[in-house]
Structure 1
């Protein structure tokens, strides 16, 4: 399935409860909160897809089966999947939100396989999030106190007024050992909850003290907008701890996953297909306030693989919809090193990667303060491809006035050109590199080819693209059409079609993707045992072994049947007969071809065996043709 990763500290949501959520949720009501739906006929609804730009509606909703599918971008699923995609929630968060909507109390199974139990009204995550929410209000109130003057001055010096501080919920950790701790304990949070949340820590005396003191604070929110941690900047010279401190790893704060500003930027990232990665909290604030709403920053760690995963999901970063990833780094040595690290990560994105570096080395916050908000927008607009920056940086390390320097620069730069995802651009970069080095094209071309085929070199052209079988039949052939119709019957009307559908084996299907879906129906328990609806469709989707089959399940679940009027058993019988008739006639053709190649004199036994099989198949074909009479 789409990662039914339902394990939490409190356990896994019971499968029965997930099924109840799917059954009790009105998918039309959920989707109508964000998409205007109109009748599409046959009981289906349609609207403009929220996941890609389109001028005519291709987004279809089937209220009867509680599923949706977009014929334009191929996305589809149930109400849980819609919230995951539209609101950027995890599977668990989506299930919990829908459960609350329909008034269902979820039960959780402990991960140590103990007895199923009902989850408390507030599980651990909810308690930790609630503690952080209370801490935000405490810290925000402290920002207005006399002792927080250095924090207010820090913000003002960087061009942030009171409104900006309120927008980002900036706060101040006061000069006291346990002021926040005592405040939260009075609100009912336990010693263990505060330690687990990373808001407090044990002192040497054994008492509990605040983690942050005398610092300016930024709340760090996850994709849903929940505060899961804090970033804290020191303000006083006598503070000998690091300039920035962050919440430690907790059950809800994973620094390799969180991105500061993602809660405010996510919708614009998805809408524009673009993200700007900056280095600090004030840079995010400066970009957003300057009209670059897609800016985010890492929180106390380097930009890594998990961050890439978060952004790719927001960007819909696929071969069909490739976004832009723009890195901004300081112009110093550390910034250049970070940029080269980012180029190594470039291969993990399908989209194009760029770098934006201010000519005078200023970060976005400094640039906004010194030259205004337009300068920040211009910085992002003047981005250059990351590969160009990386090549220039590598070449610049060598003395190109010497033969040895040029050859060594070529050796260092060739692997970068070999890494370029778009192979059609590589020859142009070969010519550019040769020109920059003052060398002939041929040796540079050989060096790039050698780097591309070096041991351990990954073929990036096919990364992430699943192997999809090719159908031997034309997409609009009668056999393909009837196979699709049979699969639609199994998905949309299993109670009626189940027994007849299950009686026809996967060997009767010719299209490889159809074969995979037919096998998934069997793996999900068979159509005859299903009751239909979103639970059944998701079970089949989950049983699919390749992405093409998963996508097809979503498509067929909402595609109208090729029948006027009410569905009845006769239509199912005709459809299944036509499916088998196409397969049988194909075998008849193959058998006739084989019989023509057999010598009836020297291979008499083989000839008569094949001839007998042919007669049997032709008789079977006649019976199927009679059963299939009536037309689709």
Structure 2
């Protein structure tokens, strides 16, 4: 990252970029009046409720409530943070961003990272070139045997490291790369004579990227048929730890998988590079893999940015079960470190013994794998079943030991309702014990099962914006629905057709609107500069995201009838007339309290004011009737 992006560039890019073209890469859009309409890319729907308004540069879905500008769209669809979204958009449209001045220390750190990334990029270019050279035929043949073609290799930028001691080192040294930088990136190591030798030799190469797309390391697999000399190299070899590459923080395939992870709201974590490729090939584009290490806290913290549901697709053997247990321990640690706020729904895909995900998807096909993913077990029942499968349940001592171990596992589940359910279905039923006995044993270990503490449920989806009077907020439940709709109609005119708004608009105040959200929208319009101000300025003036979503929704909400100047005038004047009638009603009530002699002067003044209001009311309603807007 090159420091903070200059704010003017952020705004200029926002205005210049074509939101219809960018969003159109993710869903088909068709013109519908002032906006474009299509199926929402954020939720499943059959009838299009997703609107994109190019003039004001925003999107809004009436089905799921998703709303925002172009940066919001990219953040949501790609799982990016804000600076990443800005940089991604700039790359798409060829816009050159400027960055604010950095401190000397930041410049040095940035320069060092940039220099090392340049080395890994050069190494990747060499490896990819070698894959399609004559010597790379052995790697291409291996890929073919595994069912992968050139398209798969290109998608994941695969390469080949020649089976020579220093092919890469010599090539990059000829390009001017310093020896110390080759060593710093882990591409080369010093040999016994003080020269350089390549770390990766005679291997199929899998580049590893950070979430931003920079190449930070590599994984390499040996190939059948190659002569590796007198030593037997490890089947897989990954980059050593470097300033760029930290294996406990990196997942393979994130840049390729991120859009599908966000759309599916699920990430599928494997243990092998070819597992990821096979799953992507079968339609599971949300698959990623660890890089030769167990799933840890940093891995889960990374994927939590994109999805709350994690499915582990580990090999169906004892090592795979152990990997699932370690991943669960990492999830518990992550939740504890976040005060319970970073909760993930963890599930485990049960693969046949001896199979990895690539084997399984080729055996059962895409549909069969989809059924397996849908049937993935929550991690606690998965662990319990495997522990009990290994226990001796034929003796009293064995059952007692199994119960003690099962309760220790169960006690780490934070949701009391799930603890109770799994104590019944997995522990009691699995061991063959009465549930009451299991509950009493749990209580002796300090684990509560029967005291209800509330059901932990996922965050509920927000109600569609179209179902909310103005985007949420309390206070509207007892309001007259027709009145609420009238207020909504007036605000929609103000946002969609400001040129049609009559002079009476300027008489309105917040008090003339009954619904709290309608008042908030009105106040936001006024705070932004009044009716006719560009919509982005009004959205920016909103107090929170809910209000911003409401305003965007009103700005693209379809009108039930065509709106012209007469219709717009009728809507606004109706609200003004209601206020005038309310004032007149208050004066008539006051007249009932005045004495014709004692309060003579005040009575005359009230009558005068009442006459003025009645005249004003008649003028407003007469205009309405003359306009033909009411029957």
TM tier, shorter chain?
Answer: 0.5 to 0.7
**Contiguous gaps of at least 5 residues in structure 2:** 336-340, 464-471, 594-605
Counterparts of 1:571 and 1:437, CA distance in 2? 74
Relative distance call for 1:151 and 1:112 in structure 2 (3 A) is same
Counterparts of 2:219 and 2:285, CA distance in 1? 20
Q: After superposition, where does 1:223-622 map in structure 2 within 5 Å?
A: 227-233=215-221, 238=231, 244-246=237-239, 248=241, 258-266=250-258, 275-289=267-281, 293-304=285-296, 307-308=299-300, 325-343=310-328, 345=331, 353-365=346-358, 373-374=363-364, 378=368, 381-382=371-372, 383-386=375-378, 387-396=380-389, 400=393, 401-402=395-396, 404-405=400-401, 408-409=404-405, 411-415=407-411, 419=415, 427=421, 430-431=424-425, 433-444=427-438, 451=447, 460-461=456-457, 469-473=473-477, 477-481=481-485, 484=488, 526-528=528-530, 531-534=533-536, 536=537, 539-540=540-541, 543-544=543-544, 547-560=545-558, 564-566=563-565, 574=573, 577=576
Q: Give the C-alpha shift of residue 144 in structure 1.
A: 6.3
Tell me the C-alpha RMSD between the 2 structures.
Answer: 5.7
Retained in 1: the 8 A contact 2:186–2:239?
no
> 2:32 aligned with 1:40, yes or no?
yes
Retained in 1: the 8 A contact 2:65–2:462?
no
Q: Give the C-alpha shift of residue 13 in structure 1.
A: 1.4
**Contiguous gaps of at least 5 residues in structure 1:** 1-7, 318-323, 593-599, 601-614
- Give the SS at the match of 1:138: helix
Relative distance call for 1:243 and 1:564 in structure 2 (3 A) is closer
- Give the SS at the match of 1:16: helix
Counterparts of 1:338 and 1:310, CA distance in 2? 18
Q: Which moved more, 1:335-344 or 1:157-166?
A: 157-166
Counterparts of 1:194 and 1:458, CA distance in 2? 56
- Give the SS at the match of 2:4: strand
Retained in 2: the 8 A contact 1:581–1:625?
yes
Counterparts of 2:305 and 2:295, CA distance in 1? 16
- Give the SS at the match of 2:99: strand
From 124, 131, 146, the counterpart of 1:136: 124
Counterparts of 1:374 and 1:211, CA distance in 2? 37
Relative distance call for 1:205 and 1:572 in structure 2 (3 A) is farther
Counterparts of 1:201 and 1:574, CA distance in 2? 81
Match of 2:602 in 1: none
Counterparts of 2:510 and 2:189, CA distance in 1? 60
Retained in 1: the 8 A contact 2:479–2:515?
no
Counterparts of 1:286 and 1:222, CA distance in 2? 21
| Number of residue pairs the alignment of both structures matches | 571
From 2, 11, 16, the counterpart of 1:19: 11
Counterparts of 2:203 and 2:72, CA distance in 1? 40
Q: Give the C-alpha shift of residue 179 in structure 1.
A: 4.5
Counterparts of 1:453 and 1:511, CA distance in 2? 45
Relative distance call for 1:473 and 1:167 in structure 2 (3 A) is closer
Retained in 2: the 8 A contact 1:60–1:68?
yes
Q: Give the C-alpha shift of residue 173 in structure 1.
A: 3.3
- Give the SS at the match of 2:220: strand
Relative distance call for 1:93 and 1:206 in structure 2 (3 A) is farther
1:272-292 CA-to-partner distances (Å, cap 9, x unmatched) read 665432111132234445665
Retained in 1: the 8 A contact 2:279–2:358?
yes
Q: Which moved more, 1:260-269 or 1:25-34?
A: 260-269
Match of 2:22 in 1: 30
Match of 2:599 in 1: none
Match of 1:609 in 2: none
- Give the SS at the match of 1:13: coil
> 2:206 aligned with 1:218, yes or no?
yes
Match of 1:62 in 2: 53
Q: Give the C-alpha shift of residue 339 in structure 1.
A: 1.4
Counterparts of 1:510 and 1:209, CA distance in 2? 77
Q: Give the C-alpha shift of residue 297 in structure 1.
A: 0.9
Retained in 2: the 8 A contact 1:417–1:448?
no
Match of 1:92 in 2: 83
Counterparts of 1:199 and 1:575, CA distance in 2? 75
Counterparts of 1:72 and 1:97, CA distance in 2? 27
Relative distance call for 1:92 and 1:212 in structure 2 (3 A) is farther
Q: After superposition, where does 1:179-218 map in structure 2 within 5 Å?
A: 179-180=167-168, 183-184=171-172, 212=200, 215-218=203-206
Relative distance call for 1:411 and 1:513 in structure 2 (3 A) is farther
Q: Give the C-alpha shift of residue 110 in structure 1.
A: 2.9
Q: Give the C-alpha shift of residue 393 in structure 1.
A: 3.3
Q: Give the C-alpha shift of residue 11 in structure 1.
A: 1.6
Counterparts of 2:240 and 2:480, CA distance in 1? 57
1:455-511 CA-to-partner distances (Å, cap 9, x unmatched) read 9x9974366889985444358724543554566577667899899999988787765
Q: Give the C-alpha shift of residue 78 in structure 1.
A: 1.8
Match of 2:159 in 1: 171
